[in-house]
Amino acid sequence: MSRSLIFLVILVVTGEFASAQETSTPKLLLAFSSVRERRAPPYPKVYFYEHDGVSTGQLLGSIDSITNGTNFTRADMHPSLSRDGRFCAFSAQYGVTDGGRIEVWDRTEKKLLPFPAINDFPNVHQMTPSVSGDGSLVTFSAYARPGGSPRWGLFLYDLTAKKFLDFPKPTNPIVDERLPALSSDGRFVAFVSNARGGAGLTDIYLCDLKEKTVEALPEMNSKHMDLQPSLSGDGRLVAFSSDRPGGAGGRDIFLFDRIEKKFLPLPGLNSSVPEQSPSLSADGHYLAFVSERLDGAGERDVYLYDCEKQSLVPTPGLNSKEDDYDSCVIVLPASR
C-alpha cells in the first residue's frame, strides 16, 4: 500500500472517530429565572443557557416578556423543559393583583401556546409546573382552585388533548400538596405534603399515575422539612432539598435511589450556606441547583453538578450580579 493511500485511510478513520466523539458529547440546556434585566422592581424573566457538559456554555436568550401593557410587569418563574428543549412550561404572574398562571413557551416558534382552560380562574395562584419529556403533560399546584382542594392541591393537564386528567385525591382535603415534579416518562409525580402521619414537618410522596397509587417514602424522608423533589426520567432517583441535621449547611440537597433504598453521595455539592431548587437530568447524570455561597456572582446563583464525576461543572456566563434561581436542566437528544 502506498504512503499516500495509508495517509488517506488514517485521515478518514480519524475523521470518523472525531465525528463520533462530537456526536456522543452531551449538550445540556438549562432554564432559570433571573431579575438581571428588571431589578427595580424585581420582575424575573426565564433565560436559557446551553452547555457542552464539560466547561463551556452560552446564553441563548429568554422568554419575551418586556412588551407593552400588563406584560411589562409579568414575573416568570419555575421553568420546566420538555426532553427536546422545545417547550418550556413556567408560572407567570401579571402585576401584583393577578394570581399565578401556567404558561407554555414554544422555543421554536417563539410564542406562548394557548391553553385557556388552565388559566380560567385568573385570581387563583397556580405555581411550579412540571412538564413531561414529550411535552404532552403538565402538572402544577394551585391554591383553592375551584373543583380542587381548599388549600394547595395538585392538577394534571393533557396539553395535547387540552383537558384535565384525574389525579389521586388527597387523603385529607385540608392539607397542602404542592411542588410537583413529573418524571420524563410521564408516569410518576413526586410532591410535597404536610399531611399528618408522615415522617416530618413536610414529606415527599410519589404518585404512580399508571397504577393510581401514592407511595410514602419512609426510608428517604426525615423528621424535618423535605422539599422541592426532582425525578430522574424513570422515577428511580429523587433529588430534593432538606434542612435535616447532619448536612453541610442550613438546607442541603440529597439524592436518593428508590430501588436500592439508599442515598447517593454528592461530594462537593453542598456548602455551609443554603442549597435548594435541585433539578435532575432525566439520565441522572447532571444536577442543577441554586446556592447562596459567598463566592458566587450574585446573592443566589445557579450551579451545575456532574453526578458521575462527583464534581461541580464550570458554567461561564451563566450567572449575574443579581438573583438567579429556579434552575432546570436537560440533556438534549444527540444530533446525527
Decide if 269 contacts 312 (C-beta within 8 A): yes
pLDDT at 265: 97
pLDDT at 1 over 70: no
**H or E element in which residue 158 lies:** strand 152-158
CA dihedral (85, 89, 94, 95) positive or negative = negative
Q: Is residue 287 part of a domain?
A: yes
- Mean pLDDT for 297-310 is 96
Q: What share of the chain has pLDDT > 90, as a percent?
A: 74
90 domain residue, yes or no: yes
Question: Does residue 10 fall inside a structural domain?
Answer: no
Percent of residues, the chain, with pLDDT higher than 70? 88
* This model's pTM is above 0.85: yes
Is it the case that residue 260 has pLDDT exceeding 80?
yes
Asked if the structure places residue 263 within a domain, the reply is: yes
Residues 297, 247: contact at Cβ < 8 Å?
A: no
The number of domains in the chain is 1
Q: Are 141 and 124 spatial neighbours (Cβ–Cβ below 8 Å)?
A: no
What phi and psi values does residue 17 have, to the nearest 5 degrees? -65, -45
Q: Tell me whether strands 237-242 and 252-257 are parallel, antiparallel or unpaired.
A: antiparallel
d(CA 118, CA 102) in angstroms, rounded, equals 7
pLDDT in tens, 53-106: 999 999 999 998 755 555 567 899 999 999 999 999 999 988 766 778 999 999
Vertex 300 angle, CA 299 and 304, to 5°: 140
Would you state the pLDDT for residue 68? Answer: 52
Q: Tell me the C-alpha distance between 181 and 67, whole Å.
A: 31
Position 11 in a domain? no
N-term to C-term CA, the chain: 33
Q: Is 8 inside any structural domain?
A: no
Residue length, the chain? 336
3-class secondary structure, 268:
coil
Q: Which of 93, 148, 98 shows the shortest CA–CA distance to 123?
A: 98
Rounded CA-CA distance 281/285 in Å is 6
Q: Which residues pair with 89 in a beta bridge?
A: 80, 104
Residue 18 belongs to some domain of the structure: no
AA identity, residue 46:
V
Domain-located, residue 9: no
Which of the four pLDDT bands, split at 50, 70 and 90, describes residue 124? Answer: very high
Please give the average per-residue pLDDT across 213-225, as a whole number.
95
Neighbours of 52 (CB within 10 A): 13
Higher-scoring residue by pLDDT: 3, 212: 212
Residues 6+ apart with CB under 8 A from 123: 98, 99
**CATH number, domain at 146?**
2.120.10.30
DSSP-derived secondary structure letter, 176 = -
Cα 103–209–333 angle (5° rounding)?
60
Give the three-state DSSP class for 73. Answer: helix
Q: Which residue has the cell 465525528?
A: 19
What is the span of the domain harbouring residue 172?
27-331
CA distance 135 to 315: 27
